[in-house]
């Protein structure tokens, strides 16, 4: 979400934050998103009230509502920020000489990092909410389509196919990779040895899935 759009608020409402530099704006929006992330993780998507969420960012409820008129708007902001980060990574992979290896390394790093930042918890909340609320579902579906789009672009480059052909051909592989990363992030921490063995098998499954694309002979 473009947090800067807050300056486009109606004239009657004073802009809530007088931040002149884009940098401090980014800093503040990162703090706000971190606050709501924490509040959702503590109380759950439905358990966290708009008041809880406002408080987690050190804002008044009225002010908070001007940034985020609904929880759906918050989820959209969180997701658009994650997408922007991912886009940078995917663009780098697409520029590399061996995009499938780059993709594998990126997914492996994501799986190995586990849920150290509470991402999995937040994802579990959003996944549950999306199955229940059409407006959240629309946002998560958009995110998933974007990620699938990046993945199939990488497959297109690796296999010398058009994006449309790659998407048509490798949609299931792309979706399975998304599912494996999500399932791994949402999996509660285990003892280190069990965790390591499960991680190894997940990486093996990711490798096989990407190898299926690499080894696909494009016939049939």
Contact residues: its own copies, CB under 8 A: 41-48, 120-121, 124-125, 127-132, 137, 140-141, 171-173, 175-176, 179-180, 182-184, 186-188, 194, 197-198, 200-202, 205, 208-209
* CB closer to its own copies, 6 vs 209: 209
In 3D space, the residue among 159, 145, 162 whose CA is nearest the CA of residue 100 turns out to be 159
**CB closer to its own copies out of 53 and 130:** 130
Q: Residue 124's Cα: distance from chain center in Å? A: 12
- In the complex, least distance from residue 184 CB atom to its own copies, rounded to whole angstroms: 8
CB of 63 to its own copies, least distance (A): 24
State the nearest-atom distance from the C-beta of 72 to its own copies, in Å.
14
**DSSP states of 45-77:** TTTS-HHHHHHHTT--HHHHHHH-SSHHHHHHH
Shortest approach of its own copies to residue 196 CB, angstroms? 9
* Full 3-state SS string of 143-197: HHHHHHHHHHHHHHHHHCCCHHHHHHHHHHHHHHHHHHHHHHHHCCCCCHHHHHH
Indicate the residue among 63 and 195 with the shorter CB distance to its own copies: 195
Residue closer to its own copies (CB basis): 140 or 153: 140
């Amino acid at each position: 979400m473009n947090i800067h759009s807050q300056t486009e608020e109606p004239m009657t409402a004073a802009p809530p934050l007088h931040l002149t530099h884009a940098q401090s704006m980014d800093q503040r929006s990162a703090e706000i998103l971190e606050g709501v992330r924490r509040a959702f993780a503590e109380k759950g998507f439905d358990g966290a009230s708009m008041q809880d969420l406002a408080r987690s960012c050190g804002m008044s409820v009225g002010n908070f509502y001007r940034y985020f008129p609904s929880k759906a708007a918050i989820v959209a902001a969180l997701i658009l920020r994650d997408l922007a980060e991912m886009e940078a990574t995917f663009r780098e992979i697409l520029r590399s000489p061996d995009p499938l290896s780059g993709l594998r390394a990126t997914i492996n790093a994501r799986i190995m990092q586990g849920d150290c930042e509470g991402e999995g918890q937040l994802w579990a909340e959003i996944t549950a909410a999306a199955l229940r609320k059409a407006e959240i579902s629309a946002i998560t579906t958009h995110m998933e389509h974007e990620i699938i789009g990046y993945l199939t672009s990488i497959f297109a480059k690796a296999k010398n196919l058009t994006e449309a052909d790659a998407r048509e051909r490798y949609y299931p592989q792309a979706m399975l990779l998304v599912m494996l990363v999500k399932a791994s992030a949402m999996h509660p921490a285990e003892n280190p040895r069990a965790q390591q063995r499960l991680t190894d098998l997940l990486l093996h499954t990711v490798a096989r899935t990407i190898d299926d694309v690499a080894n696909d002979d494009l016939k049939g």
